[in-house]
Amino acid sequence: MRVGFIGLGSQGAPMARRIVEGGFETTLWARRPASLEPFADTAAKTAGSPAELAAASDLVCLCVVGDDDVRQVLDGENGVLAGLAPGGVIAIHSTVHPDTCREIAEKAAAQGVSVVDAPVSGGEPAASAGTLLVMLGGDEEVVERVRPVFATYADPIVHLGGIGAGQVAKILNNLLFSANLGSAMSALELGEALGVPRQALCEVISRGSATSKALNSIAMFGGTLDNLAPIAGALLQKDCRHAASLADDASAPQGAVFDAADNALAIMNHPR
């Protein structure tokens, strides 16, 4: 399978490198030439546009930031859909609204192209180690066709259902992570008010039954969300908005998980 990859950021770049190292013929495209420079020592080819990349690919992986970015690289005379032949597959690794994936899948199907949504979790360290979590939504036959490519950078690869199911899982994962950040900050602030130093309490909780990835992230960044906000704040806000939209559409109660997530996002928006 020939693979095209777009989105060579901190997470996408190691994913693309592992695809190349896995022996797949790989073509890359990036808006900034600097993003391609680290691949000069690899067998990867480069394309002049998303359409040119797609014409050289059977599977195109997108790891750009959000819904609008996905649409921009897919649409237009120089977009992926303009170059991808019938039978091709688009994998959306970006975290976007499930409806975005469904709209794209419907449009792509009109020209014989399949779409899977495949958001990931684990960040650059997991991508480099080949242990990303991939949450997959899409037709089972298409999922199995692309699984060997995903296996170069991911373990586990979890198929959750039809198109959009992977995005639902990723959005809920990020909602709960945000809620855990908010709950952890509340506990640390309460401890500080009761006379327990924040960093010391971080050490205790990180070694106790209440530990979590959220608490460990706060501890790593000095016991506050101030330094985490520039890295993850905007992305978590986007995903929590998507979660609220999904809950509204399903007429589902938002409940305490949204309250805790809102607390974390409020702290990120107004660092102390």
Mean pLDDT of the chain: 95
- pLDDT > 70? residue 131: yes
CB 178 within 8 A of CB 254: no
pTM (2 d.p.)? 0.92
Distance CA 216, CA 205 (A): 9
Average pLDDT over residues 201-227: 92
CB 64 within 8 A of CB 13: no
Q: CATH 3.40.50.720 in the chain, residues?
A: 3-161
- pLDDT > 80? residue 231: no
pLDDT of res. 272: 53
Domain made up of 168-269: CATH architecture: Orthogonal Bundle (1.10)
The CA-atom distances, in angstroms, between 201 and each of 214, 220, 234, 261 are: 14, 13, 27, 21
- pLDDT > 90? residue 233: no
**pLDDT exceeding 70 applies to what percent of the chain?**
99
Classify residue 48 as exposed, middle or buried by CB count within 10 Å of its CB (0-12, 13-18, 19+).
Answer: exposed
- pLDDT > 80? residue 260: yes
- pLDDT > 60? residue 271: no
Residue scoring higher pLDDT (38 or 252) = 38
- pLDDT > 80? residue 75: yes
Query: How many CB atoms neighbour CB 158 within 10 A?
Result: 12
Domain 3-161, what fold? Rossmann fold (3.40.50)
pLDDT of res. 230: 80
The residue among 85, 79, 139 whose CA lies nearest residue 112 is 85
- pLDDT > 80? residue 153: yes
pLDDT of res. 201: 96
Residues belonging to the chain: 272
Active-site residue list: 170
44: confidence class by pLDDT, cuts 50, 70, 90:
very high
Query: How many CB atoms neighbour CB 125 within 10 A?
Result: 11
